[in-house]
Amino acid sequence: MSAPLIWIGLPFALGLLLLLVPRDHWAAWLGGFFAAFLSLLALLAPTDTALNVFGLFSLRIDSTVSLLGRQVSLTPAAQIILVLVYAIGAFWIFGGLAVGNARRLAALGLMSIALLTASLAIRPFLYAAILIQGAVLLAVFMLAEAGKPTGRGLIRFLVYHTLALPFILFAGFLLTGVEVGPRDLAIVLQAAILLGLGFAFLLAIFPLSTWLPMLAEESSPYMVGFILSTFPTFALLFGLNFIDRYAWIRESQAFFQVLQTVGLLTALSGGLWAAFERHAGRIFGYAAVAEIGFSLAAVSLPERMLGLEIVFFMIVPRALAYGTWAMSLAVLRDAAPDLRYLSLQGLARQYPAAALGVFISLFSLGGAPLLAVFPVRQALWEGLSAQGFLPALWMGLASLGLWIASLRCLAVLTMSPENVEWESRETSLQRTMILIGVASMFVVGLLPQWAAPLLQNLSGLFSQISR
């Protein structure tokens, strides 16, 4: 039995079968439990290790399989990614039970996660760009809503990710033979420009991030939340593979200085635009832009291992905030004509759990103390402060913008005449899931040591960066 078959082939095949399941909740339960099982299996059964199963027989999961002349390998170091990504997948699929479209999310979501996981396992790793593009095409079917015209955000999402593909592939072609060092400076310069353009499109780096708020405004908040929780993470891991593979990138101080500037500028643009935005859906998009910028700033830290730990530590708190926020917005979107502030005024009195979910999630992404993102945001702020006042100031302004946006959302949602009585119109399932998400953000923030076991093998995943 091989790891790629278990964590790539089986979820993709199950995703296809779930499209045929007649009832949404059946598909959600099957997809959610299978994703949770794969996450638990990745945690308990490392690859290339013989396991004694209940003393009855020995089981070994091989890490590598050959497919069409290419190797697909999920090494023991990659277990951390499998644990995180399938646990987050289960989290989103189960949440789909409360907001609708559960079958589409379970089926296409599992297939997307399988393709994105394959993008990290394929060798040569440049083929990952093609697999990511395949996941993007599946995401288009997730985001498109029947009976509604295709929005500009979805079109830009598809176009920008498609434009990234030729830039990255051509850069990889130019870099063939210069993995050890830059033998030809002209070729290296051309490849660096192409890589920069490719990842600017892929990661939605400022100013190519306009599709994010557009998509969050036009499409289902919960579907958008799933996309924003998975695609930028895998795109960033793909970029880290480039840094880990090519010594001339790892050893270039200029590269990391540019990366830090671009990351902080992206975070600042997202935070400031969120502070002045009057559409709750678009604020979701701007917060995602800020999160991408924070991740790039973490990668640029001089202590490379610290930067990697911050990037991986961000994954779960970010998913909790995105999931709770997206579900809350989905509830409010069903209750109001749209997600503009004028339409949301006073809804906290009828939908208190959803209002709380929006406020706490955005407050957490701003790095508020006691909440899930605070420990990792504090570590990043300390790392940037060690490099000077200006980087820390930029990050502080970006976080301040998210704080202002959260307070404005709270003010709008509670702005209601005194004679309106408090009640809860959320379904019991919606209310329960949102409150569990809010409570989880407090628990993760108060107990940050939960991530220590998952980060133990991180140095093996990017062995050259972590030196």
Quote the CA–CA distance of 373 and 446 in Å, as a whole number. Answer: 10
pTM: 0.89
Count CB-CB contacts under 10 A for residue 347. 22
Q: Kindly give the confidence (pLDDT) of every residue in the chain, 467 residues in length, as a single tens digit, with 9 standing for 90 and above.
A: 677 888 888 999 998 998 888 888 888 899 999 999 998 888 887 776 666 655 555 667 777 777 766 777 777 777 888 888 899 999 899 888 888 778 888 899 999 999 998 888 887 777 788 888 899 999 888 888 776 777 888 889 999 989 888 888 888 777 765 554 455 667 777 777 888 888 888 888 888 888 899 888 888 888 999 999 888 888 888 888 878 777 777 777 888 888 899 999 999 999 999 999 899 889 999 999 999 999 999 988 888 888 888 888 888 889 999 999 999 999 988 888 888 888 888 888 888 999 999 999 988 988 888 888 888 888 898 888 888 889 889 999 999 999 999 999 889 888 877 777 778 888 888 889 999 999 999 998 888 877 767 666 666 677 666 56
Residue 348's nearest CA partner among 405, 426, 241 is: 426
Quote the CA–CA distance of 318 and 287 in Å, as a whole number. Answer: 11
DSSP H or E segment with residue 336: none
Helix, strand, coil share of the chain (percent; to 5):
75, 5, 20
Query: Strand 70-73's sheet: what is its strand order?
Result: 64-67, 70-73, 122-123
Residue 420's nearest CA partner among 357, 347, 353 is: 347
Tell whether omega for the bond before 149 is within 30 degrees of 0, i.e. cis.
Answer: no
DSSP H or E segment with residue 59: strand 57-60
Residue 104's nearest CA partner among 23, 181, 213 is: 23
